[in-house]
Structure 1
């Protein structure tokens, strides 16, 4: 593992600083960032409308949580917007497309793994749904609560795995600083080297995304904000060589 992939240790306060910086970055590029996020907000509206139409409303929470599994696959577009603004360019929707075009094969492979885990998660949640609720048109509150409890416990395990392997591997791959195996290894090492800060970040991510996915229009704000904050956290843990302080590696 090259020295540039040794993670720096960060305090929990870095998470709040990244959130503040992410919000500032969003305010610099609100139109293209919200426009890209609108794609996922529209998908959320359609999915939730279909669930309501077919009487599957309790599946909203599992599907909302499942977005945490596929979310890393869309970060390249937001990273491209932020990097363009940092470079002094006026970002547009074309920057999002350019970000995906320049994404290396390793990043697409990682996105495929995330999508596979999402399919596993949805099929498991649907199986639990069939056992606990089945064809009840108006399930009792206790049934729905038990269903959400069990699916949430299953989801935490999958989300934890995805978080560890993608928290930093996606930007490392996007910047071409590592291959797939090196990026995933570095990401896992960084998460455990900064366990307190990463636990706080995971809680913020999970709570914010699940809450706003239930109100899809809010994704226009939360999705780019958290994506930009994620990029700032990455730069704090894996700064470029010119910004890396001595003695801060794990």
Structure 2
């Protein structure tokens, strides 16, 4: 059919519109309101990790690396949302909400496919930190500013470093977004291997490039804004985005 494409064992829609994004967000909000305890629980893990990172780096005066780590933090969000996908799946199917089943969602179907994806995301975060360190070394090796001085951002070199770092970070984030946005909810929903799930996710982004790029921007911007007040906005934003991603997946995979 014109609006569908066969990818491995999965049929993928290729006619997404921004109306689908609005519908996914509305459904995500409904899931969060119906089952807030799960969303708040998973968000609290993310918020606690963020606050721990913030106070640790701030106490050491490493302001620059606080920015770098915060910029890469959203790379880990998809794995955090696996439990939220399971909540949405169970609510959609009319299944009882059991903590054991929701917390065990990261184990997948006992084949460690989702855990492998989690390891890939951790590698992505580590890779981003390495890239950021390399960019800093290139731009600031000849600078007279201290390695963590806020004044470096006011210099021409510092601004150039921020621009290059932002572009590099955006490219890395979009690459890993492309391989996880559909693959993780797909692994929660179906008995597939992670390679097939990644292929389906990439095919979805390729077939709906504009809409999926808009969704990536929505995720990035809302997560960034939510992290500003000491990560506290994530208590709402993270669960809603997680549930919404599940519903977008359900629209994508026929």
5, 9, 20: which is aligned to 2:10?
5
49, 64, 68: which is aligned to 1:43?
49
Q: Does 1:73 align with 2:79?
A: yes
C-alpha deviation, 1:181, in angstroms: 1.9
**Counterparts in 2 of 1:179-198, with a 5 A limit?**
179-198=193-212
- Asked if structure 2 preserves the Cα contact closer than 8 Å seen for 1:4 and 1:238, the reply is no
Q: How far apart are the structure 2 equivalents of 1:78 and 1:128?
A: 35
Q: How far apart are the structure 2 equivalents of 1:98 and 1:222?
A: 23
TM-score normalized with structure 2 length: 0.85
- Asked if structure 1 preserves the Cα contact closer than 8 Å seen for 2:31 and 2:88, the reply is yes
161, 164, 185: which is aligned to 1:171?
185
TM-score normalized with structure 1 length: 0.86
C-alpha deviation, 1:92, in angstroms: 5.3
Structure 1: 4+ residue segments shifted above 6 A: none
Report what 1:225 is aligned to: 240
C-alpha deviation, 1:136, in angstroms: 4.8
Report what 1:153 is aligned to: 167
C-alpha deviation, 1:139, in angstroms: 2.3
Number of residue pairs matched by the alignment: 239
For structure 1, the 5+ residue unaligned runs are 240-250
For structure 2, the 5+ residue unaligned runs are 1-5
C-alpha deviation, 1:107, in angstroms: 1.7
| Matched residue SS, 2:232 | helix
Q: Does 1:102 align with 2:116?
A: no
Q: How far apart are the structure 2 equivalents of 1:135 and 1:167?
A: 35
Superimposed CA distance per residue, residues 120-167 of structure 1 (whole angstroms, 9 cap, x where no aligned partner):
111221333355354354424424544332221111111121011111
Q: Does 1:28 align with 2:34?
A: yes
C-alpha deviation, 1:235, in angstroms: 0.3
